Amino acid sequence: MTNQFKSKPLIALVGFDEPLIEQLQTFDFNGAEIVPFANGLKLVSAWQSNHLNIVSVLIKGEIVGPNGLSLIESIKKQGLSAIPYFLVVRQLNANLRQIALSAGVADVLILPLRRQNVEKRVNFLIQNWKRLAQTGQVQLAPIRSISLGKRIFDVVFAGLALVALLPLFLIVYVLIKLESKGPAFYYSLRVGTGYKVFRFYKFRSMFVNADQKVKDLMHLNQYALATGDGANVKIEEPSSLCQDCQIYGKCQFTLFADKEEWCEKDLKKSKIAKAGSAFFKIKNDPRITRIGNFIRNTSIDELPQLWNVIIGDMSIVGNRPLPLYEAEKLTTDKYILRFAAPAGITGLWQVEKRGKGEMSEDERLMLDNVYAQNHSLKSDIKLILKTIPALLQKESV
């Protein structure tokens, strides 16, 4: 880059396709020049190495998606936080906007972009950001913070459990590797307390290509069947990338483990959404390995999440953290309360309903909300004591 280009005010774009880039280049941003970047890593690298005069960043991606708040947080951690960030999204409601603003996003722009609206909002916030940023951020509904006693209990309990269960970890690791190809551990992105996105660790209980079989099993989805919509779900033939990921050139909903990667979403989220269910679960799921079936029914597959507890992403007891494509549906007033509680390995709905028959999506979310309003260290200990009997069940879940 020339020195002249470096000194010019720049507006960085991340995740935009060519037509949108060309559209934005025709807008008047008071002399600031549009510069597209393929991803956040390249933006940070260019910014730091070339000392670019970037005055704002526009990112195209859903608010609770991988190119949303989690990407902005990653960029800010590099020391690039003193400018306004904008999210450009396809869907927006009052709660989603509140979540974004509370996380430090300057504004959320919804597609299709309208020139006058974008120019006015972006230019105003660039010019006044320092003053506006000092006035404080919009706050979400109060999140009940984890008490010191609960945090100490979590760390001590998880640390002792990891030490005591090390032999079991080794046995399960060997059995998983012997039964099927692929890594024994994996992580995926999950949404926890306050819509925070983090890496969620588990033992692998499915075949690595399990996502390719989802289209043939969608009619068995328990949550869709509970609403009577399962039979009406029509699944398109899979392509190399789903519509949401095509603009980025690679999957944005990836499960990671060593050198293995596979898609968690696999084109099916939109179909489940049309069927009215945020959750996907199959009774006696044929995608699960034999050792996977055992570690699921005994919840051994959850044990690597003890590490999530140690590093503070989760608690021993709380509401289950959700995949991104599930969490993005639960942003209405009816459901947002569940994200005010700690994310946990076990929780109220697992104890109250697990092994007692089918559970609807509304029942599960109702119990999540009840826990969010009433959780305490005393109630957590009671739930832990009830968890072991809940694991000894005859039903595959």
Domain with 87 in it: what CATH number? 3.40.50.2300
Q: Could you give the count of Cα atoms lying within 13 Å of 250 in the half-sphere of its Cβ?
A: 8
**Any bridge partners for residue 37, and if so which?**
14
Which H or E run includes 89?
Answer: strand 85-89
| 323 part of a folded domain | yes
Same domain? For 174 and 312 the reply is yes
Same domain? For 261 and 318 the reply is yes
**What is the domain extent for residue 61?**
3-133
Q: How does pLDDT run along the chain (397 residues), one tens digit per residue?
A: 445 455 789 999 998 999 999 999 999 999 999 999 988 888 888 888 888 889 999 999 888 777 788 788 878 877 777 889 999 988 787 767 777 877 778 889 989 999 988 998 899 899 888 777 665 444 444 556 678 888 999 999 999 999 999 999 999 999 999 988 888 888 888 888 877 888 899 898 887 765 555 555 555 554 454 444 444 433 333 345 555 555 445 555 555 554 455 565 553 443 344 344 455 555 556 678 889 889 988 888 889 999 999 999 999 999 889 887 777 777 666 677 788 888 998 888 777 765 555 566 777 777 888 888 888 888 888 888 877 655 444 444 4
Same domain? For 123 and 164 the reply is no
Same domain? For 99 and 226 the reply is no
Same domain? For 68 and 155 the reply is no
Which segments of the chain does DSSP mark as H helices, in order?
A: 3-7, 18-25, 40-50, 69-76, 94-102, 115-133, 148-164, 166-179, 222-226, 243-246, 269-274, 290-297, 305-310, 324-327, 348-353, 361-374, 377-391
Same domain? For 231 and 274 the reply is yes
Same domain? For 339 and 251 the reply is yes
| 99 part of a folded domain | yes
φ, ψ of residue 208 in degrees (nearest 5): -60, -35
How far are the Cα atoms of 268, 275, 279, 360 from residue 227, in angstroms, in the given order?
A: 18, 8, 12, 8
Structure tokens at 343: 């994310």
Same domain? For 184 and 253 the reply is yes
- Whole-angstrom Cα distance, residue 253 to residue 66? 8
- Whole-angstrom Cα distance, residue 330 to residue 75? 26
- Whole-angstrom Cα distance, residue 229 to residue 209? 26
Same domain? For 174 and 202 the reply is yes
How many domains does one find in the chain?
2
How far are the Cα atoms of 15, 52, 72, 144, 352 from residue 35, in angstroms, in the given order?
A: 12, 11, 17, 41, 53
Structure tokens at 140: 């979400």
| 138 part of a folded domain | no
| 143 part of a folded domain | no
> Is 124 strand, coil or helix?
helix
Same domain? For 126 and 218 the reply is no
φ, ψ of residue 261 in degrees (nearest 5): -140, 140
Same domain? For 191 and 278 the reply is yes
φ, ψ of residue 204 in degrees (nearest 5): -75, 125
Q: Are 331 and 200 in contact (CB under 8 A)?
A: no
| 56 part of a folded domain | yes
Judge if pTM exceeds 0.75: no
Q: Are 292 and 208 in contact (CB under 8 A)?
A: no
Angle at 302 between CA 297 and CA 308, to 5 degrees: 170
Domain-terminating residue out of 133, 160, 175? 133
Structure tokens at 46: 């260019």
| 23 part of a folded domain | yes
- Whole-angstrom Cα distance, residue 131 to residue 115? 25
- Tokens 């960043």 belong to which residue? 57
Same domain? For 315 and 178 the reply is yes
Domain-terminating residue out of 69, 100, 133? 133
